[in-house]
């Protein structure tokens, strides 16, 4: 049974975007528009060029922000405030997910490449406020993004997580490589599994609530 593979876990680490809400909510589509607008204004380039840079920096640096900081010295705090100023009305309350997370034994945390204030707004819109022991944003990782090892080391150390008794839930498969290597159980949360499968991903689910319910019986 899948529950047996998680019997040692006492810390549950959840990504935010497209993990604690479904991809069809399309929050990140809004954020991408804001990112491209910021890049265009800061660098004085067209929106088309800015969107290409946004995508390239995400690919090469882990986040667009990290690329902008490394290549152009962007101040992260105004950037994070701007790109996360979006419409949350597409999110719905999810009592099933709240109950499933609450039932997990041990410590529950959120760790996102977004900002912690943004994460709190998402959790509020989903009805998930108050069920997590901590919420960590990229600012807590000293602006190092997942998938970098420095980012995970900073946040896991800050929270006191013992990786060999922890599990990580993520929608971006590259962000599960370091957790796997540290000894965490890894769960890829996405509509479809990777093809071909990746050795650093232990499990896939397209229904986080159902998967979590299976872990606690």
pLDDT of residue 93: 98
Single residue among 83, 102, 128 that ends a domain in this structure: 83
pLDDT of residue 114: 95
Are 100 and 213 within 8 A, CB to CB? yes
Two tokens, residue 85:
């100023």
How far apart CA 196 and CA 111 sit, in angstroms, is 27
> Which residue range forms the structural domain that includes residue 35?
27-83
146 and 178 housed in the same domain: yes
**Rounded average pLDDT over 14-41:** 94
Residue 108 lies in a domain: yes
Residue 149 lies in a domain: yes
Q: Is 184 a residue whose pLDDT tops 90?
A: yes
Two tokens, residue 40:
């265009």
Phi, psi of 107, rounded to the nearest 5 degrees? -90, 140
pLDDT of residue 1: 82
Q: Is 217 a residue whose pLDDT tops 80?
A: no
Q: 134-136 and 166-170: which strand pairing?
A: unpaired
Give rounded-to-5 percent helix, strand, coil for the chain: 50, 10, 35
pLDDT of residue 116: 98
The predicted-structure confidence for 125-137, as pLDDT tens digits, reads as follows: 999 999 999 999 9
Query: What residues pair up with 110 in beta bridges, in sequence order?
Result: 14, 135
The predicted-structure confidence for 154-170, as pLDDT tens digits, reads as follows: 999 999 999 999 999 99
End-to-end CA distance of the chain: 10
pLDDT of residue 183: 98
Residue 146 lies in a domain: yes
44 and 59 housed in the same domain: yes
For residue 144, the domain's CATH number is 3.40.50.1000
102 and 205 housed in the same domain: yes
53 and 66 housed in the same domain: yes
Q: Is 58 a residue whose pLDDT tops 90?
A: no
Tell me the H-state helices in 13-46: 27-43
98 and 158 housed in the same domain: yes
75 and 118 housed in the same domain: no
The predicted-structure confidence for 26-38, as pLDDT tens digits, reads as follows: 998 999 999 999 9
134 and 182 housed in the same domain: yes
Phi, psi of 7, rounded to the nearest 5 degrees? -65, -20
The predicted-structure confidence for 67-123, as pLDDT tens digits, reads as follows: 999 999 999 999 999 999 999 999 999 999 999 999 999 999 999 999 999 999 999
Mean pLDDT of all residues belonging to the chain: 96
pLDDT of residue 33: 94
18 and 41 housed in the same domain: no
Domain count for the chain: 2
The percentage of the chain sitting over the pLDDT mark of 90, rounded to a whole number, equals 94
Residue 88 lies in a domain: no
pLDDT of residue 117: 97
Two tokens, residue 158:
């800050």
pLDDT of residue 28: 87
Residue 160 lies in a domain: yes
Query: What residues pair up with 107 in beta bridges, in sequence order?
Result: 11
The percentage of the chain sitting over the pLDDT mark of 70, rounded to a whole number, equals 100
Residue with tokens 């190092």: 144
Residue 132 lies in a domain: yes
Upstream peptide bond of 196 is cis (omega within 30 degrees of 0)? yes
């Amino acid at each position: 049974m899948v529950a047996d593979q998680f019997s040692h876990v006492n810390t549950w680490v959840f990504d935010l975007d497209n993990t604690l809400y479904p991809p069809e909510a399309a929050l990140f589509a809004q954020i991408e528009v804001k990112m491209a607008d910021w890049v265009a204004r800061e660098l004085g380039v067209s929106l088309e060029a800015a969107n290409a840079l946004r995508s390239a920096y995400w690919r090469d640096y882990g986040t667009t922000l990290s690329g902008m900081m490394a290549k152009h010295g962007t101040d992260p705090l105004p950037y994070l405030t701007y790109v996360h100023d979006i419409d949350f009305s597409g999110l719905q309350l999810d009592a099933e997910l709240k109950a499933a997370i609450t039932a997990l034994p041990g410590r529950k945390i959120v760790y996102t490449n977004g900002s912690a204030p943004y994460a709190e707004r998402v959790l509020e819109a989903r009805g998930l406020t108050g069920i997590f022991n901590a919420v960590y944003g990229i600012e807590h990782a000293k602006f190092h993004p997942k998938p970098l090892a420095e980012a995970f080391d900073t946040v896991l150390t800050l929270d006191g997580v013992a990786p060999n008794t922890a599990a990580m839930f993520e929608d971006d498969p590259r962000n599960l490589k370091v957790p796997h290597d540290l000894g965490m159980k890894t769960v890829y949360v996405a509509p479809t599994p990777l093809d071909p499968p990746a050795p650093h991903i232990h499990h896939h689910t397209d229904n986080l609530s159902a998967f979590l319910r299976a872990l606690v019986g």
